[in-house]
A and B are shown apart, each in its own frame.
Chain A
Amino acid sequence: MEALRAEVRAWIEKNHPGDPGFKLPQSPLEVADDRQFEWLRDWQRKLYDAGYVGAEWPREYGGFGRERGAQRVIDHELGRARAPFLLNIVALSWAGPMILRYGTEAHKRKFIAKLLRCDEIWCQGFSEPGSGSDLASLRTTALREGDSWRIDGHKVWTTLGRYADWCILLARTDPAAVKHAGISYFLAPMKTPGVEVLPLVKMTGEGGFNQVIWNSARMPADALLGREGQGWELATATLQFERGAAEGSAGGSGGASEQVARVAALARTLGRDADPVVRDRLAGFWIQETAIRANAQRSRNPGLVSDRPEALPLMQKLTSTEQAQALADFACELEGDAASLWIGDPEALENAEWQRSYMNSFAGTIAGGTSEILRNILGERVLGLPKTR
């Protein structure tokens, strides 16, 4: 592993793409124009060609078959070097692992290599206007018509929807069945008649977010993943990947480490690093940042999680997104008046990066299970508390 670490470190030193000369989004959630899209697609392709995307995935489907833990080392080094993120996030972290776990041989051969290389982009069709935290109340339908399925419905908060070739889609295949039972899980085509993608604008003014209208769109019989009616089980498995509670991502989950050090540097720049109140808060953030990393370490040590095996995986997304949000807010507070400036103002610090981070941080605490829902799940699954209804 140390050899791999050194190799990646050397590679990234030579191949870091640097500043593209235009504004990049902060995450795949805000990819809004073709220039950003193409630049990020090329970056993922370059990483794939170097063997750093899908490092642990099977060779026969386009992965690199490396030993367990290799991807984590790669992601950590990329995060450390502040390399750009990987574009095809839904594919690498959720759709791909789901296809590997539940897909047919034909699915794996058809999809895996292309998603790793960014030749095909994936999006997620779970949430609907009326079904957010109560996801199982979804109303989009997929009904059998001869040899195909007909989809009708409305999905929202669709990251990469505009660019996507495929969608992991939840739809009701048995409208008569009770709530969770009638749902199925599809690998649905996006570039097909009857699929309309409409952009949404975030509070930062950025795009990249969409809603998708399915109007009698067709998909072939083999679009079904798993069995008919197994959709809720597969949705839950997908959310485990999305929350970082299950391992198996093909890359891009390294995240930004050592964010507190960045804010400490900001405090120095602003001449506020001698203020004991500022120092106390910085140290508090540093402790939590380290605890999140130590939690990830401990979660891989079976002997130290036997009392509550599910606690650490289920905490991962909740703690890291709340930490990121609180830290970005603190950075804005440190900036004082400068925090009221926006991207492009010559006086804005770091071109308003922390303001943008703070606004965008709510994606983390809302998407893939809100912090409130995650606290319910932890209370019920880990502490054995009765269900909240």
Chain B
Amino acid sequence: MNAHIHYEEEHALMRAEARRWLDERFAIARVRSLADSAEGEDPADWKELASLGWLGLVIPEKHGGAGLGATHLAVLMEETGRRLLPSPLLPSTLAALALVLDGSEAQASRWLPAIASGETRAVYAKSASIWGAECADAFVVSTRDGVELVERGAAALSITPELVLDRTRRSARVTRNGVALASGEASARLTAWACVALAAEMAGGADALLAMTAAYAATREQFGKPIGSFQAVKHPLVNVLIGVESLRSLVYAAASALDVESADAETLARMAKAQASDVYVFAAARAVQLHGGFGFTLDCDAHLYLKRAQTTRPAFGDAMAQRRWLATRLADPTPATR
């Protein structure tokens, strides 16, 4: 297994720009107020995401996008994950990826420019519970031989918003003639890209939890000492650190593998998603626990991340599902041809 990582100045610049913008715009108080709102998002944010070029990040230049690679995408997702971005950038990116990777040329040229400009809000139908569906104009569904794009106005379509745990990431059930609109098994390439995007977002969230909890443990005093001086608190936090750092390494190894079209890309991407699924929930659970009684309240930010972690875990396969796939690859190390 090769795990080469290519990360250049342009990626670092993009990270700095994204972090600055997100920090300024998505202070936790605003994220909370959007979570409490009926819509769950602010249309002005969507316009900004379009003008920053982020909606078209992975869309080829010929279709009006920036044509950037998986490492750029990982950087952006990691930074949005840190701030629990309450806007459907991720499901829209997954829809764009599905069209780019598995769509026909006709579908790509018809839809991608409008997705990149923000004019058409397309979301990926990852399962029967579709993120960002309530305000979407179109749904992209993986089928056996490609993708299908279903417009919101299509006949016999019904959209029912769900009551959700994570109110920073809304979802809805979409049915057509009473049958749920949901993707079948995604292609290997789409799975790999999606796993990298998801794992990167989860890495950002887990990293934010770690920073928050370490800062709390360094200042909260009991028995006359900061609780972070006790090994019973310190060592679990270090275990979170190790999990998060390892996750970031897997994310960027997988992203680099996608960028150079390495045969190991899907394996690395699934490893990243497995690690993310375990580590994000672990980091969130330790955050709640180590904040003590306060951690259990609505006022503490830990639960916002815990709910995001729980919500994101099953997408494109939880850790158990990824390990099931990986075990097959371990038993038969020749690259899959699919």
Residues of A within 8 A of B (CB): 260-261, 264, 268, 273, 276, 279-280, 282-284, 286-288, 290-295, 297-298, 301, 303-304, 306-308, 311-312, 315, 318-319, 372, 375-376, 378-380, 382-389
Task: Give Cα A291–Cα B252 distance, bound, in whole angstroms.
Answer: 11
Given contacts A282-B327, A376-B234, contact A294 B246 (CB under 8 A): yes
Report the stretch among B7-15, B53-61, B123-131, B175-183 that lies at the interface.
B7-15
Cβ-defined contact, A298 with B249, below 8 A: yes
> Do residues B229 and A386 form an inter-chain contact, with CB atoms below 8 A?
yes
B residues at A contact (CB < 8 Å): 1, 3-5, 7-9, 11-12, 207, 210, 214-215, 217-218, 225-226, 228-231, 233-235, 237-239, 241-242, 245-250, 252-253, 268, 271, 274-275, 320, 322-324, 326-327, 330-331, 333
B324 and A279 form a contact (CB under 8 A): yes
A378 vs B236: C-alpha distance when bound (angstroms): 11
Cα-based distance from A82 to B74 in the complex (angstroms): 36
Q: Closest approach, in angstroms, between the C-beta of B336 and any C-beta of chain A? A: 15
A379-B327 in contact (CB<8A): no
Known: A279-B331, A386-B226. 5 other contacts (CB 8 A): A283-B274, A294-B5, A298-B249, A388-B230, A388-B234
B272 to chain A minimum Cβ distance, whole angstroms, is: 9
Q: Are A286 and B246 in contact (CB under 8 A)?
A: no
Least CB separation from A285: chain B residue = B330
In the assembled complex, the CB of A338 is this many whole angstroms from the nearest CB of chain B, namely: 22
Tell me the nearest residue of chain B to A257, going by C-beta. Answer: B1
Q: How far is the CA of A372 from the CA of B231 in the complex (A)?
A: 9
Most buried by B among A318, A378, A382: A378
Can you report 15 A-B residue pairs in the complex whose CB atoms are below 8 A from each other? A273-B331, A276-B324, A280-B324, A283-B322, A287-B274, A290-B250, A290-B271, A291-B271, A294-B252, A294-B253, A301-B5, A308-B245, A315-B245, A383-B214, A384-B215
Q: Are B324 and A283 in contact, CB atoms less than 8 angstroms apart? A: yes
Cβ 8 A contact of A287, one of B210, B239, B275: B275
* A280–B327 touching, CB < 8 Å: yes
Please state if A383 and B238 are interface contacts (CB–CB under 8 Å): yes
A383 to B229, CA, bound (A): 11
B contact residues around A294 at 8 Å (CB): 3, 5, 246, 249-250, 252-253, 268
CA distance in complex: A307, B19 (Å): 13
A379-B238 contact in complex given A282-B327, A288-B246, A294-B249, C-beta closer than 8 Å = yes
Q: Which residues of B sit under 8 angstroms from A268, Cβ to Cβ?
A: 331
The reply to whether B226 and A297 form a contact with Cβ atoms under 8 Å apart is no
Which residue on chain B has the smallest CB distance to residue A300?
B5
Which residues of chain A come closer than 8 Å to B226, judged between CB atoms?
385-386
A382-B241 contact given A280-B324, A388-B230, CB 8 Å threshold: yes
Is there contact, CB below 8 Å, between B248 and A287? no
Known contacts A295-B249, A382-B241; A287 and B234 CB within 8 A of each other = no
Contact across chains for B249 and A387 when beta carbons are under 8 A apart: no
Closest Cβ neighbor of B325 among chain A residues? A283
Q: Which residues on A sit within 8 Å (CB–CB) of B5?
A: 294, 297-298, 301, 304
Check if A303 sits within 8 Å of B229, measured CB to CB. no
A273 and B233 CA atoms in complex are apart in Å by 38
Contacts of B207 in A (CB 8 A): 307
CA distance A355 to B230 in the complex (A): 35
A9 to B: closest C-beta gap in Å: 16
What is the bound-complex CA distance between A383 and B248, given in angstroms?
Answer: 16
Considering the complex, give the chain A residue whose CB is closest to the CB of B4.
Answer: A297
CB neighbours of A293 from chain B (8 A): 1, 3
- Known contacts A264-B330, A295-B249, A303-B12, A280 near B234 by CB under 8 Å: no
Nearest CB to that of A379 among chain B residues?
Answer: B234
Cross-chain contact B330 with A298 (CB below 8 angstroms): no
B238, A375: Cβ atoms closer than 8 Å: yes
Contacts of A284 in B (CB 8 A): 323
* Contact A312 B3, CB 8 Å, known A294-B250, A385-B214: no
Give the Cβ gap from A220 to chain B, nearest Cβ, in Å.
Answer: 43
> B10: nearest residue on chain A (CB-CB)?
A303
Write the nearest CB–CB distance from B234 to chain A, whole angstroms. 4
Q: Which of A287, A312, A385 contacts B237 (CB 8 A)?
A: A385
Pick from B8, B246, B250, B252: contact of A319, CB under 8 Å: B246
Determine whether the beta carbon of B324 is less than 8 Å from that of A315: no
Known: A294-B3, A384-B214. A286 touches B231 (CB 8 A): no
Determine how close the nearest CB of chain A comes to the CB of B211; give it in whole angstroms. 9
- A285 vs B42: C-alpha distance when bound (angstroms): 43
How near does chain B come to A284, taking the closest CB pair, in angstroms? Answer: 6
Which residues of A have CB within 8 Å of B214? 383-385
Contact between B327 and A304, CB atoms less than 8 A apart: no
CB-defined contacts of A318 to chain B, threshold 8 Å? 242
Q: What residue in chain A is nearest B207 (Cβ atoms)?
A: A307
A260 in complex: contacting residue of B231, B324, B330, CB < 8 Å = B330
Q: Which residues of B contact A273 (CB under 8 A)?
A: 331
CA–CA, A282 and B331, complex, Å: 10
Residue from A303, A372, A378 within 8 A of B9 (CB atoms): A303
A385/B228 in contact, CB under 8 A: yes
Contact of B242 among A304, A307, A319, A387 (CB under 8 A): A319
Chain B residues in 8 Å Cβ range of A261 = 330, 333
In the complex, what residues of A have CB within 8 A of residue B322's CB? 283
Q: Flag if A375 contacts B234 (CB, 8 Å).
A: yes
> Which of B239, B247, B250, B323 has a CB less than 8 Å from the CB of A283?
B323
Looking at B207, B230, B248, B322, which has the most chain A CB atoms within 10 Å of its CB? B248
CA distance A315 to B245 in the complex (A): 9
Cα A261 to Cα B8 with chains together (Å): 32
- Contact between A298 and B218, CB atoms less than 8 A apart: no
- List of B residues within 8 angstroms of A264 by Cβ: 330-331
- A291 and B246: CB pair below 8 A? yes
Asked if residues A287 and B323 are in contact (CB atoms below 8 Å), the reply is: yes
Q: Kindly list chain B residues whose C-beta atoms are within 8 Å of the C-beta of A386.
A: 218, 225-226, 228-229
Chain A residue nearest to B11 (CB atoms) is A303
Question: Which residues of chain A have C-beta atoms less than 8 A from B246's C-beta?
Answer: 288, 291-292, 294-295, 319
Contact across chains for A379 and B253 when beta carbons are under 8 A apart? no
Residue of B nearest to A286 (CB): B330
Given contacts A304-B7, A385-B214, contact A279 B327 (CB under 8 A): yes
Residue of B nearest to A312 (CB): B245
Instruction: Give the nearest-CB partner of B13 in chain A.
Output: A303
Closest-CB distance, B13 to chain A (whole angstroms):
10
